[in-house]
Amino acid sequence: MRSAAFYAGQAVFICGSTGGLGQAIVHELCACRVRALVLSARREHILQEQRQYAAAHGVEVQICPGDFTDPKVRALAMSMAAAAGCQCLILAAGQVPAHARDSLEDPAAVEQIFKLNALAPLQFLYENADKFTLGTRIALISSQAALYPIPMLPVYGSAKAALSYAVQALQPQFAARRVKLTFSDGPALCRALLV
Ligand SMILES: NC(=O)c1ccc[n+]([C@@H]2O[C@H](COP(=O)([O-])OP(=O)(O)OC[C@H]3O[C@@H](n4cnc5c(N)ncnc54)[C@H](OP(=O)(O)O)[C@@H]3O)[C@@H](O)[C@H]2O)c1
């Protein structure tokens, strides 16, 4: 992550804030004295707890509960992020399909994992390309699984590889609009955010 001074006073949108990485980022950003957070994920009770935690640190929080694969949820999230003045957006929602060690993923997971891990973040970029203000930074969380074909993770890894590919291909077009796209496919996920 950038320095605490960079985040102080900023408003930040996080999708997938209720997971391990998201929770760590929320805590880190509160310590950095951000002005406001807009948090989104499906588990509303955790979003409510995060709102209380952040409020105790003097951070104003709005929550947008819902499934990020739903275009209505993405549209609401974007309008809330824009209204709050978020110029840092972190798209961290992701899912590893469940399966036994020696079996393939459930066939239904193939579609669901691509929808969440690849399509939804890309749709969010395309849907809102004209709405991001100059200087916006958007971090997309890929995975090391995108770099090497892992026999246990063919669906997860290929969805993340698609995301990494698309983000790199889109970087110049967004840069021309003064919007910076970053992504991380290595172990230093947090450090690579919003650089
Ligand atoms: N942990 C690792 O070692 C690792 C390594 C490389 C990359 N990553 C990537 O880093 C990101 C965060 O990982 P994590 O370890 O924090 O995973 P996690 O603990 O499983 O958290 C996943 C987050 O995604 C949200 N989410 C899942 N499905 C969603 C949906 N349909 N709509 C909206 N939100 C949804 C979850 O919230 P709800 O359940 O409340 O919706 C949760 O906030 C993921 O993209 C993951 O692929 C993780």
- Residue 105 inside a domain? The answer is no
Those residues whose C-beta lies under 8 Å from the C-beta of residue 34, and which sit 6 or more positions away, are 7, 8, 9, 10, 11, 12, 59
7: CA distance to ligand 1 center in Å? 22
- 157 CB less than 6 Å from ligand 1? no
- The reported pLDDT for the residue numbered 1 is 61
- The reported pLDDT for the residue numbered 195 is 44
- Residue 72 inside a domain? The answer is yes
- The reported pLDDT for the residue numbered 184 is 84
- Residue 135 inside a domain? The answer is yes
d(CA 9, CA 77): 20
User: What is the domain count for the chain?
Assistant: 1
- 113 CB less than 6 Å from ligand 1? no
Q: Which mean pLDDT values do the consecutive 10-residue runs of the chain (195 residues) have?
A: 82 97 95 97 98 98 98 98 97 90 85 97 98 96 92 93 97 97 71 50
- Residue 102 inside a domain? The answer is no
- Residue 104 inside a domain? The answer is no
- The reported pLDDT for the residue numbered 44 is 98
- Residue 20 inside a domain? The answer is yes
Q: Residue 135 in contact with residue 194, Cβ under 8 Å?
A: no
- Residue 100 inside a domain? The answer is no
The CATH number of whichever domain residue 164 belongs to comes to: 3.40.50.720
Those residues whose C-beta lies under 8 Å from the C-beta of residue 60, and which sit 6 or more positions away, are 35, 36, 37, 54, 84
- The reported pLDDT for the residue numbered 105 is 85
Range of the domain at 31: 4-95+110-192
